[in-house]
């Protein structure tokens, strides 16, 4: 005998229970409820203690045998109709997520939906899932953006790290001016000077590659141009002093050295000193270092990293870096699609062009090169099909390349737009501090 029957075993109303849902009262028969034994109201009839009853409802009055539920009374009308007809219908004006939560609370399954509401239910569910996915994607992107961009800015956590350290006030003031150009006039001047030196270094590197500025000694051996060498040394010394100063005043040296922009700064100045050391060793005629000249040339090429120093002063470049960092899945898809297409079309073009004497597509590697420049719509024109079948394959290759490249590029562009807007917001917020 259940708990309610023990309290009212002499009552004539043993076959009914009183339900109060948000002030809406209803008297319901046991027989109707037991038609669906897995529902919440039906499980109430099987409870043998008050504690078990209170696990299924919000409150219970033994004297009146009334069960209280703090739920939507409007929706409970649909629950009553379900017990009478065995079918549940969608509630007009009720969110699909709230509808699912309500039927799950009352223990009703989705299979009990009437056929007139089934199609609409699944349509609303797909829309809700798409919106939830977009929201989660945006949240993840913003979180990753905060972790990859805000770490480059002056945050309150970084400022608090100065407390209790040596020369805290002086280091903090210098750090803020170096990291936040919008903090004061002096900070803007420092940022402009740093940006100017970066531009001068890039211009000098470009001019150094021009033959008109090359000089040779009396032995016809190429030597450094004194003017270009001066600008090179000046820029590197400035970058070195700036890097050492930023490292000295940084609240956390470990965090500073792990920052992407600071790694770029270090890589832009290291080749100069390594090249200088190699030149000194080479002058000493050390026979153990036969490839010093090649090493020096490679290290000089690494000066191109100075171009990336512009990212410190450009929100667009920082947004581009964050986009590439957090678009690895889309980039991987793009590479996979292109690899499959290139392999397929290079094989096809080789099969139809190999017998033509006029064609230059006589080997598979050349076919890969042709398929690559065709699918990416570059089209250098150095290799091209000459047969009718080859031209048809080339047309199909170009069309497929357009479709394949366009698919993941859309997602990457959307991420870049969000990252750029977020970065502009961060920059504006810092300039207003």
Q: What CATH number does residue 374 fall under?
A: 1.10.287.70
Alpha carbons 161 and 176: distance in angstroms, whole number: 13
Instruction: Give the tokens for residue 397.
Output: 């290759």
Q: Do 420 and 369 lie in a common domain?
A: yes
User: For residue 154, what pLDDT is reported?
Assistant: 44
Q: Do 190 and 117 lie in a common domain?
A: no
Instruction: Give the tokens for residue 8.
Output: 């009212």
**CATH (domain of 170):** 1.20.120.350
If you average pLDDT over each of 199-213, 368-382, 418-432, which comes out highest?
368-382
Q: Do 54 and 80 lie in a common domain?
A: no
User: For residue 409, what pLDDT is reported?
Assistant: 78
Q: Do 249 and 108 lie in a common domain?
A: no
* Each residue's pLDDT tens digit, 167-218: 777 787 787 777 777 677 887 788 788 888 878 877 877 777 777 777 766 6
- In eight-state DSSP terms, residue 27 is E
Alpha carbons 150 and 136: distance in angstroms, whole number: 20
Asked which of 108-117, 197-206, 370-379 is least confident by mean pLDDT, the reply is 197-206
Q: Look up tokens 């699609």; give the residue.
A: 337
Alpha carbons 99 and 110: distance in angstroms, whole number: 11
Across 101-242, the runs of DSSP E, i.e. the strands, are 215-216, 222-223
Relative to beta strand 222-223, strand 59-61 is: unpaired
Mean pLDDT of the chain: 76
Q: Do 165 and 255 lie in a common domain?
A: yes
Other C-beta atoms within 10 Å of 11: how many? 12
pLDDT band for position 425 (cuts 50, 70, 90): low
Alpha carbons 156 and 225: distance in angstroms, whole number: 47
| The total number of structural domains that make up the chain | 4
Other C-beta atoms within 10 Å of 341: how many? 20
Asked which of 98-102, 177-181, 216-220, 378-382 is least confident by mean pLDDT, the reply is 216-220
* More confident site: 426 or 98: 98
User: For residue 392, what pLDDT is reported?
Assistant: 93
Answer yes or no: is 27 within a domain.
yes
Is residue 111 packed enough to be buried (19+ CB in 10 Å), middle (13-18) or exposed (0-12)? exposed
pTM: 0.47
CB–CB of 299/271 below 8 Å? yes
Structural domain for 80, as ranges: 73-138
Answer yes or no: is 322 within a domain.
no
CB–CB of 384/353 below 8 Å? no
User: For residue 396, what pLDDT is reported?
Assistant: 92
Answer yes or no: is 148 within a domain.
no
Alpha carbons 4 and 63: distance in angstroms, whole number: 9
User: For residue 410, what pLDDT is reported?
Assistant: 76
pLDDT exceeds cutoff 60 at 404? yes
User: For residue 156, what pLDDT is reported?
Assistant: 47
* More confident site: 387 or 326: 387
Instruction: Give the tokens for residue 191.
Output: 């940022």
Answer yes or no: is 349 within a domain.
yes
Q: What percent of the chain has pLDDT over 90?
A: 4
Q: Do 271 and 391 lie in a common domain?
A: no
């Amino acid at each position: 005998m259940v708990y309610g029957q023990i309290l009212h075993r002499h009552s004539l109303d043993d076959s009914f229970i009183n339900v109060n849902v948000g002030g809406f009262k209803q008297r319901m028969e046991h027989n109707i409820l037991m038609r669906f034994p897995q529902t919440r109201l039906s499980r109430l009839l099987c409870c043998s203690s008050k504690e078990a009853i209170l696990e299924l409802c919000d409150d219970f009055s033994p004297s009146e045998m009334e069960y209280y539920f703090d739920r939507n009374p409007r929706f409970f009308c649909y629950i009553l109709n379900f017990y009478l007809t065995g079918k549940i219908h969608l509630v007009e004006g009720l969110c699909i997520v709230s509808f699912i939560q309500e039927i799950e609370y009352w223990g009703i399954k989705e299979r009990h939906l009437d056929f007139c509401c089934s199609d609409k239910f699944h349509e609303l569910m797909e829309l809700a899932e798409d919106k939830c996915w977009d929201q989660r994607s945006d949240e993840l992107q913003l979180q990753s953006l905060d972790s990859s961009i805000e770490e480059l800015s002056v945050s309150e956590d970084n400022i608090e790290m100065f407390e209790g350290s040596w020369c805290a006030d002086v280091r903090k003031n210098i750090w803020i001016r170096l990291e936040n150009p919008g903090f004061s006039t002096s900070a803007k001047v420092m940022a402009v000077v740093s940006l100017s030196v970066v531009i001068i270094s890039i211009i000098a590197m470009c001019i150094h590659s021009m033959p008109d500025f090359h000089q040779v000694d009396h032995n016809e051996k190429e030597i450094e141009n004194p003017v270009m060498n001066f600008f090179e040394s000046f820029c590197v010394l400035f970058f070195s002093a700036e890097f050492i100063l930023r490292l000295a005043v940084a609240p956390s040296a470990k965090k500073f050295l792990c920052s992407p922009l600071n790694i770029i700064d270090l890589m832009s100045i290291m080749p100069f000193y390594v090249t200088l050391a190699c030149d000194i060793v080479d002058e000493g005629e050390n026979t153990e270092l036969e490839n010093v000249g090649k090493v020096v040339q490679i290290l000089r090429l690494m000066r191109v990293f100075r171009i990336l120093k512009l990212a410190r002063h450009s929100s667009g470049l920082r947004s581009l870096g964050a986009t590439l960092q957090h678009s690895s899945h889309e980039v991987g898809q793009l590479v996979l699609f292109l690899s499959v297409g290139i392999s397929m079309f290079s094989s096809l073009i080789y099969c139809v062009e190999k017998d033509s004497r006029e064609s230059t597509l006589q080997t598979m590697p050349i076919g890969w090169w042709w398929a690559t420049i065709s699918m990416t719509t570059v089209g250098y024109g150095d290799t091209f099909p000459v047969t009718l079948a080859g031209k048809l394959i080339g047309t199909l290759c170009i069309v497929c390349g357009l479709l394949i490249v366009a698919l993941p590029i859309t997602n990457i562009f959307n991420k870049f737009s969000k990252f750029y807007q977020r970065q502009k917001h961060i920059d504006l917020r810092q300039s207003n501090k």
